[in-house]
Amino acid sequence: MTPLDKSKKLGAQDADLGWDFTDTTDQPLGDDKDLSGEALDNYIEDIAETVRVGVDHSISILTPWFFNAMPPIYYQTTPRQEKVRHLSAIITGHVFETKQTVELWDRDRLKVTYIGPGGDRKILSDMAARVKGLDLKMGALYFSRDKLLFLSTFICAKHKPIDKDNRHVMDKLSNSRELILAESPGQEEAVDRYLASIDNDFVTYATSSRLLLTYRMVKHMVDHQGAHTVLEPIDNSLGARLMIGLKNVNTSNILEPIMKLIHRYDFFVGRAFVVRFDEGYSESITVVHFILSHGSNRKITGTEIPMIQLTKALRTLGWVDHDEFSRLVEPPYDLSINAANIVRSMANWCHIFLSKQNPYAYSVYKIGNTFLQNFDLVQVVVKLFRAKFDPQTRENWEQAFAEAEAELNDKVEDLVEEVDRNIFKECLNFIVHCQKTNYFLSTKTGLAFRLSPEVLDKKYYPNSPFAIFFVIGKDFRLFQVRWKDIARGGVRVVMPRTDADHDMALAGIFDEVYGLSNAQQLKNKDIPEGGSKAVLVLKTGGHRDQAVKGAINALLDLLVDEDESHESTKHKVVSYYPKSDIIYLGPDENITNDLIVWIPEQARRRGYRYASAFMSSKPGEGINHKTYGVTSEGLNVYVDNVLHYLGIDPDKEKFTVKITGGPDGDVAGNELKILYREYGENARVVSISDGYGAAYDPQGLEWTEVLRLVHENKSIMEFDKAKLSSDPQAFVILANNNENIRIRNEIYRKVYADIFIPAGGRPYSVNDKNWADFFTKTGQATVRAIVEGANIFFTEEARRQLQDRGIIIIKDSSANKTGVICSSYEIIASLTLSKEEFLAMKEQYVSEVIKILRQKADQEAKLLFRSLVQQENKTLVELSLMISKEINQLTDILLEKLTEKMDEVLQDPFYQDIVIRHCPPVLVEKYRDRILERLPDAHKIAILSSSIASYTVYREGLGWIKTLPKAYQFDALIIYMQKDLLANRLIDSIKSADINDKDQINSILTRSAARNLTDLELQSRFSNG
């Protein structure tokens, strides 16, 4: 019953409005147009009087009702002029008569108010739908006490600084500060930051208590990821206050799904308030307050199942996509948000791995349709997943799983279409090989899974990595693949510019991470960590930092024993993998310094044991690859060896280079600096191309201008054309049209140079379709040698074709390996030193690391060309792979044997000395004991294994150890290291002895003593055995 309905009892003129519109003239309405003069004036006055009577009557009824029915906070926080406007709208807007919602915009269209009947809960969802897409900074919603009216106001204006001349605002801030500090003493800095960045409109519309409540949430959200909820029962009421904190969400777009969830679990909104904080914070924070009651008319305490379900769903809401799978949470499907996200995850997984068979048949859209058309099977898939990982049903999980698996298999066999059967079989494959998930954690920022490599189809992925992590969250998908237990590799963010680019990147995400991590495994042969790589594909228009933080935080869920709120996860995460994972990351494409800093800080907050080593290249306390040019330092060692192999003495002769990757890039920019540092004007760079343009000069680009761009961190498109030579072919172009893009894309293949250095570019830029561009129409090659500074720039077929035609190629896993070597030494520093200790020795430490990595690059380069002479039927790429595989295979043998007797090994001075010798001298000099005490045991074993394996192969070449029976290879490696020590002692003795030909004697001992002594020892053991 409306307030006006109630007026019937008081004898209102009209049952609906209290207005009497009966025409009091005898003139028919159709003849109104004939009225004139005094008759018309009388008619108008009569109409006006009728309106006045009606309005006065409505005012007399609705005004006292309005002021008595609206909650006190509405009057406390709403300016007087707005109250007048709202009441006028209620009276004149036919709200109660037609049960319609009135929409009121202010003059500048920066503030909108909705006023409507409050009897139907769905009207809130409708209102939330109306504001979708608006750039909201705050809003308020009120219901009258009798639930007959709702009133909501939303403000779209930009941030408005505090009006310090407004006494009311300043008094409220002062009072709020006292209130907050009384609750949180000692937090003056945080409180002042909060109040300084607050919006003037927010202060106007909020009470001091609301400012306090909002501060609590903002303070929590600053240091936490994901969504957060706080429930506070209200004294002397059945209701409760529910607060939600969200990061980096579109405030207007999140309101509708929130309202739908509230209604789904039978809650009623009494009032609500939403505010977004942008100013003063690195990420936007949205805080929503609700006063709720439940349809059961029982008091809300927080222990009710509907409230538990609601808060869990709300925490999930902020990190899931709102897409075609969102309909699964609505009738007739009615899945939980978590369950719908499992279905979304399965669809993406199936798309990525099945689209290799048929991209069209296994698109995400097609798979989604298959799920909707076979929803009974989807329910079984969800049941199967829950049976395996629900921590509450561990006692009988195997039986429940077997029953669900049998049910799924039966239903799958009944499907008519093979495509549909393959989709559900892949879902089963995913669940069977999933080993761990954060699905049952209430607070998370992405759905994370650890999978056994057995999940992969051997047809497409013949080599098995050690482990796979898959994370899906709002606007992102991430894979992390590692090839050994102790492994490291970068995190790469792919940011497609168009939806079509995104679809392509998503379909190829696993192939990219698999290829990159496998290449990393090959190049990591010199260090204790195996290869790994993480690739995140961001949805077009997505928030990069939010995606990276969400993905890393979800990954941490599977590495630590506490969730984001520091609650134990031991009874919430079911694991079928018996060990703890140790993961080391590094920066790659689109990872900013802010993210490099945040990642280890978040790991530390989450309790990850090796947080300081979780991310390499940290500004300040890390070794920034670009600052020190560590990848390029090793790359140029290979360039130097290649030049000498080609018969070019770069110190005396001129040579030409073409390069991809801009002067502002890490590898390209530093390689340009090193080329000039080492060879000066002898190095002539004829072409440079990057993402923005290209420059070409057959006489060589002018060095002063090139180095200016490097030092100013600018693209090659900004090369000063005035600095080009007079050669008519020289040019600088901006890749801003189709023709220039074509030139930029082809220049590195078509212009001539002695050496091509790909030091930037997308994977497989040179492939089966374009490798022939490296040859002229007459068959002449446009390059003599290629040194791969970029990862997987060439397909295998392209490499083969180029090598078959005489081009020398140094593979990426050799040429750019020193970046990962540097990161490995940074990890050692992070595990043994405090930030202050490292900074005190940083420059010396880095200098010694660069010396080590140059030495390791030269060792492999020398072995490559030595082996090329010895094995004429092999290419350098094949030899590079052979070296990596042999070192890795020997490392695996050592890892297995040394791990079996880990305690004994790590107490042995012989092995301890190998660990120590692996480290930079300055670290050994100052913190020798720390190395042995603080490095994880598994890490020390990995150091031993990789050090012994790589040292032996580089010294003795390919094949020596492999000629021995496998049962003796471990013993041979250990004996070799022991005999090498003996040989070095003999060499030192001879150096100090007074004998003839001691230099020749020492040369013989250096070349063959350790190997010959090992052979003798092995022969003795074999003969005795």
Same CATH topology for 438-615 and 625-815: the answer is yes
Does residue 881 surpass a pLDDT of 90? yes
- In terms of residues, how long is the chain? 1025
CATH 3.40.50.10860 fits 438-615, yes or no: yes
User: What is the average pLDDT across 266-291?
Assistant: 92
**More confident: 97 or 687:** 687
C-alpha 601/C-alpha 417 separation (Å) is 50
Please report, as a single letter, which amino acid is at residue 262: I
Span between the terminal Cα atoms of the chain, in Å = 102
Task: Give the number of other Cβ atoms within 10 Å of residue 580's Cβ.
Answer: 12
Task: Give the number of other Cβ atoms within 10 Å of residue 992's Cβ.
Answer: 7
Amino acid 616: pLDDT = 86
C-alpha 688/C-alpha 698 separation (Å) is 12
Residue pair 316/227 in contact by the 8 Å Cβ criterion? yes
219 SS3 class? helix
Q: Model confidence at 3, in pLDDT bands (50, 70, 90)?
A: low
C-alpha 494/C-alpha 689 separation (Å) is 20
User: What is the average pLDDT across 370-394?
Assistant: 94
685 SS3 class? strand
184 SS3 class? coil
Amino acid 10: pLDDT = 34
Q: Model confidence at 526, in pLDDT bands (50, 70, 90)?
A: very high
Q: What percent of the chain has pLDDT over 90?
A: 68
Extents of the domains making up the chain: 3-69, 74-318, 320-437, 438-615, 625-815, 969-1024
Q: Is the peptide bond before 332 cis (omega within 30 degrees of 0)?
A: yes
Amino acid 439: pLDDT = 95
Does residue 29 surpass a pLDDT of 70? no
CA dihedral 650, 652, 658, 663 (to 10 degrees): 80
Q: Of 822, 815, 823, give the one whose Cα is nearest residue 793.
A: 815
Q: What percent of the chain has pLDDT over 70?
A: 96
Structure tokens at 439: 């699905």
C-alpha 445/C-alpha 451 separation (Å) is 19
Q: Model confidence at 8, in pLDDT bands (50, 70, 90)?
A: very low
User: What is the average pLDDT across 154-177?
Assistant: 92
Please spell the DSSP secondary structure of 559-578, one letter per residue: TSSB-TTS-B-TTT--BS--
Mean pLDDT, the chain, integer:
90
Q: Could you tell me which residues are beta bridge partners of residue 152? A: 114, 141
Please report, as a single letter, which amino acid is at residue 925: E
Amino acid 5: pLDDT = 55
C-alpha 194/C-alpha 211 separation (Å) is 10
User: Under CATH, which number does the domain 625-815 receive?
Assistant: 3.40.50.720
* pTM of the model as a whole: 0.82
CA dihedral 47, 48, 49, 54 (to 10 degrees): 90
Beta 683-689 vs 693-696: how paired, if at all? antiparallel
Q: Which residues contact 740 (CB under 8 A, 6 or more apart)?
A: 693, 694, 733, 734
Does residue 964 surpass a pLDDT of 90? no
Does residue 15 surpass a pLDDT of 50? no
Amino acid 386: pLDDT = 95
Query: Burial, 692: exposed, middle or buried (Cβ in 10 Å; 0-12, 13-18, 19+)?
Result: middle
User: What is the distance, to the nearest Å, from the Cα of residue 844 to the centroid of all Cα atoms in its chain?
Assistant: 33
Q: Could you tell me which residues are beta bridge partners of residue 585? A: 489, 615
Beta strand ranges found along 453-503 (DSSP E)? 467-473, 476-482, 487-494
Q: Model confidence at 83, in pLDDT bands (50, 70, 90)?
A: confident
Helix or strand (DSSP H, E) at 761: none
Query: Burial, 799: exposed, middle or buried (Cβ in 10 Å; 0-12, 13-18, 19+)?
Result: buried
Q: Model confidence at 54, in pLDDT bands (50, 70, 90)?
A: low
Amino acid 1024: pLDDT = 63
Q: Model confidence at 277, in pLDDT bands (50, 70, 90)?
A: very high
User: What is the average pLDDT across 167-174?
Assistant: 92
Which residue do the tokens 């599977």 mark? 558
Helix or strand (DSSP H, E) at 141: strand 138-143
Amino acid 51: pLDDT = 66
C-alpha 523/C-alpha 531 separation (Å) is 8
Amino acid 507: pLDDT = 95
Q: Of 201, 194, 189, give the one whose Cα is nearest residue 176.
A: 194
Structure tokens at 522: 């090959």
Angle ∠(276,86,4) on CA atoms, nearest 5: 135
Does residue 22 surpass a pLDDT of 70? no
Q: Model confidence at 218, in pLDDT bands (50, 70, 90)?
A: very high
Amino acid 94: pLDDT = 67
User: What is the average pLDDT across 603-630?
Assistant: 89
Q: What is the pLDDT of residues 537-585, one digit of tens each?
A: 999 989 999 999 999 999 999 999 887 767 777 788 999 998 889 999 9
Q: Of 957, 887, 946, 954, give the one whose Cα is nearest residue 918.
A: 946
Beta 753-758 vs 783-787: how paired, if at all? parallel
Q: What is the pLDDT of residues 444-469, one digit of tens each?
A: 999 999 999 999 999 999 999 999 99
Q: Model confidence at 18, in pLDDT bands (50, 70, 90)?
A: very low
